């Protein structure tokens, strides 16, 4: 019996071990306790999807990016130390498969060397086709040897404050940058270094140096404006301005019809007088533009407009008097020095404008066929 006792204990130990390890009470493959993850993550983007607005942004960018270009220009400036080159940068967008590109005039103005970089980083030399400084517009062309992607020109005449807009350009030379916002206001007038621009679209979409000339798009990817100016010299503060695309359409229609872009030219120098100054000159106190000179051979000369016949000093003003006072143009009263300029920006060389003048104390209407300002490239 003693000889069997070790085998019996061994059998009992083995049976006990098998019982314990085969039951649910002890599982060496399990952790001692279950611990949940302390953080969670979203579903994969492909499964979760984008919001409708995000998808719209993505689609507009994909469809517009390749037609938005980067423009560099070189202008040679003369100084006391000699002639030196100044480099400028901006944006533009392709409007025809053959390579016509719209941009701002101030992006390319006076440049003897224009280069356009496409989204594929290929660089092409560009040539000027025409420009319209009054609306800060320019048309240039590249020869890429292939059909190019284009943007559609939309409707800027029926914009609504609050509608979504997207801007694409090259701010601070960061190519292919898109920002979004809304139409903040319409019909704004802004003063630039060169001129006054009226009827501008105001937007809070971020526009910075380098965005000039790029497209302002609606939610369908149609161009409704050309990004032109910002308030503040350093960068975007949420107030940017775009030239309505309707102005560019008018320029393009004229170019297509005549092969050139004609700017209207009246041929007078004027000064705005009103109130006490006008009364001192025995002119209507409501004011107008007093003609100081009429260029010989100009449209104004041909229409019989008259300049001064004497010079007087009134206060601190040295004025030519005795000439015509322009008080209205096409039926719109001249109520500031920019009114006539704004009306002329909507005209082309060869168009007519009806001026209401005060001559010898009487109102007269004079129809003027506008001349053409010379194009200089």
Query: Residue 266 and residue 256: Cα distance in Å, rounded?
Result: 24
Instruction: Count other Cβ atoms within 10 Å, centred on residue 376.
Output: 7
Active site residues: 106, 136, 212
List all residues 6 or more positions away from 335 whose beta carbon is below 8 Å from its beta carbon.
286, 287
Q: Which of 269, 243, 261 is nearest to 347 (CA)?
A: 261
User: What's the chain look like in SS3?
Assistant: CCCCHHHHHHHHHHHHHHHHHHCCCCCCCCCCCCCCCCCCCCCCHHHHCCCHHHHHHHHHHHHHHHHEEEEEEEEEEEECCEEEEEEEEEEEEECCCCCEEEECHHHHCCCCEEEEECCCCCEEEEEEEEEEHHHCEEEEEECCCCCCCCCCECCCCCCCCCCEEEEEECHHHCCCEEEEEEEEEEEEEEECCCCEEEEEEEECCCCCCCCCCCEEECCCCCEEEEEEEECCCCCCCCCEEEEEHHHHHHHHHHHHHHCCCCEEECCEEEEEECHHHHHHCCCCCCCEEEEEEECCCCHHHHCCCCCCCEEEEECCEEEEECCCEEEEECCEECCCCCHHHHHHCCCCCCCEEEEEEEECCEEEEEEEECEEECCCC
Instruction: Count other Cβ atoms within 10 Å, centred on residue 87.
Output: 10
């Amino acid at each position: 019996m003693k000889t069997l006792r070790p085998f019996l204990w061994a059998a009992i130990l083995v049976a006990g071990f098998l019982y314990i390890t085969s039951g649910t009470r002890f599982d060496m493959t399990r952790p001692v306790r279950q611990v949940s993850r302390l953080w969670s993550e979203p579903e994969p983007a492909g499964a979760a999807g984008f919001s409708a607005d995000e998808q719209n942004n993505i689609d507009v960018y994909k469809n517009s990016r390749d037609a938005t270009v980067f423009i560099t220009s070189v202008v040679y400036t003369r100084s006391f130390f000699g002639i030196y080159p100044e480099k400028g940068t901006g944006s533009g967008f392709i409007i025809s498969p053959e390579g016509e590109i719209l941009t701002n005039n101030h992006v390319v103005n006076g440049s003897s060397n224009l280069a356009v970089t496409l989204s594929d980083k290929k660089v092409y030399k560009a040539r000027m086709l025409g420009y319209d400084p009054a609306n800060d517009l320019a048309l240039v062309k590249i020869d890429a040897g292939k059909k190019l992607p284009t943007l559609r020109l939309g409707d800027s005449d029926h914009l609504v404050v609050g509608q979504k807009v997207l801007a694409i350009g090259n701010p601070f030379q960061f190519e292919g940058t898109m920002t979004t916002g809304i139409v903040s206001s319409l019909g704004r007038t802004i003063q630039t270094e060169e001129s006054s621009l009226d009827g501008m679209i105001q937007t809070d979409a971020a526009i910075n140096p380098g965005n000039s000339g790029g497209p302002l798009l609606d939610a369908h990817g149609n161009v409704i404006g050309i990004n032109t100016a910002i308030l503040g010299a350093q960068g975007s503060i949420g107030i940017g301005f775009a030239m309505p695309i309707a102005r560019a359409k008018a320029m393009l229609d004229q170019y297509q019809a005549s092969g050139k872009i004609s700017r209207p030219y009246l041929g007078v120098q004027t000064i705005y007088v009103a109130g006490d100054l006008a009364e001192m000159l025995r002119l209507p106190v409501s004011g107008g533009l007093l003609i100081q000179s009429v260029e010989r051979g100009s449209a104004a000369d041909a229409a019989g407009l008259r300049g001064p016949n004497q010079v007087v000093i009134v206060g601190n003003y040295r004025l030519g008097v005795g000439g015509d006072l322009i008080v209205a143009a096409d039926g719109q009263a001249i109520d500031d020095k920019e009114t006539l300029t704004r009306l002329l920006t909507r005209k082309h060389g060869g168009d007519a404008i009806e001026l209401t003048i005060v001559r010898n104390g009487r109102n007269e209407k004079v129809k003027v066929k506008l001349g053409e300002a010379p194009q200089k490239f």
